[in-house]
């Protein structure tokens, strides 16, 4: 499998009156071709700076960037027609209509005029395409930004917070659209703060903190790796639960009360049967033993809670 994006040792330091500010500190990133790849990080983690460096809006202080095999920014013009990018807020001429703004972009690259109508239809903006951009809501502006990305029919889409400002219906449509684009074989690289959305649409994610990559894996692996906690269903009242907790603690398990007030243990999935055995030996029989699945949000918070511990600079 070839890679759509390869970043090695990317650093970016901004100059400011209070001295240099390091926004990205040796970030490594590999995005394979095809599918939806999430790019997660807290505010100020370096997501937008990385994306700006990817599309040539700023020069990296050091490091190497390859996009669709071309070095950025030097060779970017060779592949730019295969890349669609939406960086932060979509920026268009406020007094031109949405359609006119897209027509200008289409004409600048010689794309057929009918593409404008098609992409406006795709993002659900066809009815308001004739209105001035300045009159659009934040969500509509975001849709127009995505339409501008789709105009090129790109192999690689780089989207910075595409669901920003969308209403629930818009978020659902965006989710469906990104999933479809990823399933078509395109590479969708999407940064987002809405982790539940990322969990639903992404095949792979990269988590960054303080300008460095903390973790890259498939969403499945990331969440599966977190399934070391099991909810222990004990029939009976509180006293039975207390006895079970005592038995499990005595057997060497880490026992705690889960968010719902039930009994839970922390154990590797392959050792889950040991819980059953310990309780059965004490004549306590389980109603169920079910893994407690953590959300991407929980995993993300855990990974980014202590960047120093994960090797990222403070």
Partner 1 sequence: MNLFVAELWRCWSRRATKIVLILGFLLITGVMVWLTLRPQFETKSTPQFSSCEFNPEGEPKDVCVIEGGEPVRVDQRIDLVDDLSDAMAGTGTALAVIGVLLGSTLLGAEFGAASLSTQLAYEPRRTRVWVTKAAAVAVASAAVCAGLLVILAGEMAAVAAARGITDGVDGGWLADRALELGRLAAAGALGALFGFGITGIARRTVAAIVAFLVMLAIVEPLLVNTFGWAEQRMPIMALTLFAFDPFVRDDGGGDFTSLAQTATVASVWIAAIVLIAGVIFRRSELR
Residue pair 269/291 in contact by the 8 Å Cβ criterion: yes
Binding track, positions 169-208, relative to partner 1; x by CB under 8 A: ----------------------------------------
The smaller minimum CB distance to partner 1, of residues 109 and 288, is found at 109
Question: What are the DSSP calls for 53-118, one per residue?
Answer: HHTTSS--SEEEEEETTEETTTTHHHHGGGEEEE-SS----TTSBHHHHHHHHHHHHT--THHHHH
The smaller minimum CB distance to partner 1, of residues 52 and 128, is found at 52
Binding track, positions 100-139, relative to partner 1; x by CB under 8 A: x---xx-xxxx-----------------------------
Q: How many residues does the chain have?
A: 314
Q: Would you count residue 165 as binding partner 1 (CB under 8 A)?
A: no
Provide the greatest CA pair distance for the chain. 77
Rounded least distance, CB 72 to partner 1, Å: 9
The smaller minimum CB distance to partner 1, of residues 73 and 233, is found at 73
The smaller minimum CB distance to partner 1, of residues 148 and 264, is found at 148
Near partner 1 by CB under 8 A: residue from 7, 27, 87, 245: 87
CB atoms within 10 A of CB 135: 11
Q: What angle do CA 26, 32, 34 make, to 5 degrees?
A: 145
Peptide bond between residue 18 and the one before it cis (omega within 30 degrees of 0)? no
Q: Which stretch binds partner 1 (CB under 8 A): 76-84, 227-235, 242-250, 252-260?
A: 76-84
Residue pair 116/151 in contact by the 8 Å Cβ criterion: yes
- The residue among 234, 217, 276, 228 whose CA lies nearest residue 254 is 228
H or E segment to which residue 239 belongs: helix 238-250
DSSP collapsed to 3 states, 177-196: HHHHHHHCCCEEEEECCCHH
The smaller minimum CB distance to partner 1, of residues 101 and 304, is found at 101
Q: Would you count residue 20 as binding partner 1 (CB under 8 A)?
A: no
Q: Which stretch binds partner 1 (CB under 8 A): 70-78, 203-211, 262-270, 286-294?
A: 70-78
Q: Would you count residue 294 as binding partner 1 (CB under 8 A)?
A: no
Q: Would you count residue 76 as binding partner 1 (CB under 8 A)?
A: yes
Q: What angle do CA 171, 172, 173 make, to 5 degrees?
A: 90
Residue pair 75/55 in contact by the 8 Å Cβ criterion: no
Near partner 1 by CB under 8 A: residue from 5, 24, 29, 80: 80
Q: Which stretch binds partner 1 (CB under 8 A): 28-36, 93-101, 176-184, 285-293?
A: 93-101
Near partner 1 by CB under 8 A: residue from 37, 47, 99, 152: 152
Binding site residues, partner 1, CB under 8 A: 52, 55-59, 73, 76-77, 80, 83-87, 89-96, 100, 104-105, 107-110, 145, 148, 152
């Amino acid at each position: 499998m070839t890679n759509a994006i390869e970043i090695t040792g990317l650093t970016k330091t901004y100059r400011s009156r209070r001295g240099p500010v390091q926004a990205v500190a040796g970030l490594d990133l590999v995005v394979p071709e095809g599918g939806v790849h999430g790019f997660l990080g807290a505010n100020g983690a370096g997501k937008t700076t990385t994306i700006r460096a990817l599309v040539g809006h700023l020069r990296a202080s050091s490091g190497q960037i390859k996009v669709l095999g071309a070095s950025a920014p030097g060779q970017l013009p060779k592949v730019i027609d295969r890349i669609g990018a939406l960086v932060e807020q979509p920026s268009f001429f406020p007094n031109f209509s949405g359609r006119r703004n897209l027509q200008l972009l289409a004409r600048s690259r010689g794309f057929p005029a009918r593409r404008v109508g098609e992409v406006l239809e795709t993002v659900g903006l066809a009815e308001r395409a004739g209105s001035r951009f300045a009159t659009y809501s934040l969500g509509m502006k975001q849709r127009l930004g995505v339409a501008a990305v789709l105009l090129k029919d790109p192999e690689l889409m780089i989207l910075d917070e595409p669901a920003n400002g969308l209403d629930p219906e818009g978020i659902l449509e965006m989710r469906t659209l990104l999933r479809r684009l990823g399933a078509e074989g395109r590479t969708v690289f999407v940064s987002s703060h809405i982790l539940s959305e990322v969990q639903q649409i992404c095949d792979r994610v990269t988590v960054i903190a303080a300008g460095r990559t903390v973790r890259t894996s498939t969403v499945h692996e990331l969440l599966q790796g977190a399934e070391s906690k099991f909810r222990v269903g004990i029939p009976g009242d509180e006293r039975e639960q207390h006895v079970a907790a005592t038995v499990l603690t005595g057997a060497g398990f880490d026992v705690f009360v889960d968010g719902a007030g039930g009994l839970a243990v922390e154990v590797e999935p392959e050792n889950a049967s040991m819980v059953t055995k310990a309780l059965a030996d004490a004549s306590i029989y389980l109603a169920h033993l079910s893994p407690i699945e953590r959300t991407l949000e929980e995993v993300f918070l855990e990974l980014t809670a202590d960047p120093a511990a994960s090797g990222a600079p403070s």
